[in-house]
Amino acid sequence: MSRTIIIKEVLEHIGETGDISSIEKMNLSEDEKELIKDIVDDQLIEEALQMLKVLDPDDVLKSIRTDLQITEDLRPKWRSYLKYAAILILMLASGLMLLKTSFRSDEILQIEHKAITLEMEDGTIKEIDLQDSQSIADKHGNVIGNQHTNQITYNSSSEYEELVFNTLNVPYGKTFELQLSDGTKVHLNSGSSLRYPVHFLKERNRNVYLDGEGYFEVSKDPEHPFLVNTGNYKVEVLGTQFNVMNYNDELETKVVLVEGSVKFFNPEYSNEVLLSPAMMATANKLTPASKIELTKVNTQLYTAWIDGRFIYRDMPFSQIIKKLERKYNVQIVNNNKDLENQPFSGNLGDESIEDVLSFFNEVHGLNYEIKDNTIHIN
């Protein structure tokens, strides 16, 4: 059995069962075992398998031998060529190395960087400088919180007799963090806004209002449930960690539970589900009376954005475009309709949008050009 088939079967087995012990049972070198473990640890199994399908090991070996100037006398030291093919696969999949690429246009993409803004209770708009630190004061001059770079922390000691709201707006290309007055932490993704009380009142539930996507780490308070309002739907918790996605240009609202327990419901139609960890609830906004779907998921696929990563598994290209537009604050026009529903898998980190486009171009044959400050896919 060839080395390519052995490694492919090991990766497929681990991907299906999660059993990494199969590595030790196969006839693999120590270097190959360590490489597979790295692929598993970095959650790049699907990418590696996909690359094994499109890369010809003989071509990879030829390229590697040329680059390293390997002579016939040195060939025995490099007989395990699959090791290097797999290393190439790992690098390609994780975005650490890109094949030789060139832009399809002489025009350079100019990205407009918009500011994160904080709307105060009186309508005043404050711009948030991510390189700065400042105190946040209300209209009376009372300090209600502090901003330090990419986070605002509200004071827990502030006392209000009525609800006073602030709204944080995060544009495309940025993320931000909040710590509310009750200690709840909120991570806001690109293109999102959160409306929330400066201080929660003791006699009321804790209500916040989300447009876009947010990850919540809710402080426990059994007497005051925490509710995330997303249009027609609500998420009710006492104390837990979960992700909510409710973008205006998406047809679905999704809730992914990481730990604890939450109730996701539509109060108008008495339509509700209880989530346990590693479950996702999906509701169709166009048919709010229809059943909310529950599925078991890998939560990291839905929370990696908190760490600046974008992991996609069998995701239609049309959805990938939306994610890229938000992450990089760019406009993408897809003129290749054959790609709309084609699924892709990958793992992006801090690569630039140019690197991402080059990667798709070399690995998937995707052609693009930059025109009028817009990315056109042909």
Tens digits of per-residue pLDDT, 310-361? 999 889 999 999 999 999 999 999 998 888 899 988 888 888 998 888 888 8
Look at residue 104 and tell me if it is in a domain: no
Q: Is pTM, for the whole model, over 0.85?
A: no
In the numeric block, which tokens belong to residue 310?
């974008």
Is 298 a member of any domain?
yes
Tokens of 178: 């909040």
Environment class of residue 188 by beta-carbon count within 10 Å: exposed (0-12), middle (13-18) or buried (19+)? Answer: buried
Residue 192 forms part of a structural domain: yes
Work out how many domains the chain is built from and give that number: 3
Question: Does a structural domain hold residue 103?
Answer: no
* Mean pLDDT along residues 37-57: 68
Percent of the chain whose predicted confidence (pLDDT) is above 70: 80
Same domain, 295 and 312: no
Q: Give 53's pLDDT tier (boundaries 50, 70, 90).
A: low
CA angle in degrees (0–180, nearest 5) for 128-134-135: 110
Strand partners, 140: none
| Measured CA distances, 133 to 118, 146, 155, 219, 308 (Å) | 14, 7, 15, 25, 22
C-alpha distances out from residue 308 to 20, 184, 290, 319, 351, Å? 27, 21, 34, 18, 10
* 177 plus 146 within the same structural domain: yes
Q: Is the domain of 234 the same as that of 85?
A: no
Residue 99 lies in a domain: no
CATH classification of the domain holding 342: 3.55.50.30
- Find all residues with CB under 8 Å of 359, minimum gap 6, and list them: 92, 95, 98, 101, 351
Residues 183 and 332 in one domain: no
What distance in Å separates the CA atoms of residue 47 and residue 354, rounded to the nearest whole number?
20
CA 122 → CA 107, 111, 142, 154, 166, distances in Å? 43, 32, 14, 18, 9
Q: Using the 3D structure, point to which of 29, 63, 94 is the last residue of a domain.
A: 94
> At which of 303, 336, 358 does a domain end?
303
* For range 90-113, the mean pLDDT: 50
The single-letter DSSP state of residue 323 is H
Question: Per the domain annotation, does 170 fall within a domain?
Answer: yes
Domain span holding position 240: 116-303
Whole-angstrom distance, CA of residue 60 vs CA of residue 335: 32
**What is the CB-side half-sphere exposure of residue 375 using CA atoms within 13 A?**
24
From the number of C-beta atoms within 10 Å of its C-beta (0-12, 13-18, 19+), residue 20 rates as: middle
Is 313 in the same domain as 298?
A: no
Q: Of 303, 321, 352, which residue sits at a domain end?
A: 303
Do 198 and 132 reside in the same domain of the chain? Answer: yes
H/E segment holding residue 9: helix 3-17
Q: What is the pLDDT of residues 162-193, one digit of tens each?
A: 899 999 999 999 999 999 999 999 999 999 99
Beta carbons within 8 Å of 242's beta carbon, 6+ residues apart:
215, 216, 235, 255, 256, 257, 258, 260, 262, 275
Residues 284-297: what's their mean pLDDT?
92
For residues 149 and 276, state if they share a domain: yes
The answer to whether 252 and 284 are in contact (CB under 8 A) is yes
The answer to whether residues 139 and 274 belong to one domain is yes
Q: Please report whether residue 100 resides in a domain.
A: no
Write out the DSSP string of 183-239. Answer: S-EEEE-TTEEEEEESS--TTS-EEEEEEEEEEEEPPP-TTS-EEEEETTEEEEESS
Beta bridge partners, 133, equal: 148
Q: Which of 97-101, 127-131, 307-311 has the lowest mean pLDDT?
A: 97-101
Residues 211 and 357 in one domain: no
* Residue 101 C-beta-side C-alpha neighbours within 13 Å: 22
Residues contacting residue 251 through CB under 8 Å, at least 6 positions apart: 284, 285, 286
Is residue 254 situated within a structural domain? yes
What is the torsional sign of CA 57, 58, 62, 65?
A: positive
How does residue 158 score in pLDDT terms, banded at 50, 70 and 90?
Answer: low
- Which CATH number is 277's domain given? 2.60.120.1440
* Same domain assignment for residues 167 and 196: yes
Same domain, 121 and 249: yes
One domain, residues 314 and 294: no
Pick the residue with more confidence: 118 or 347?
118
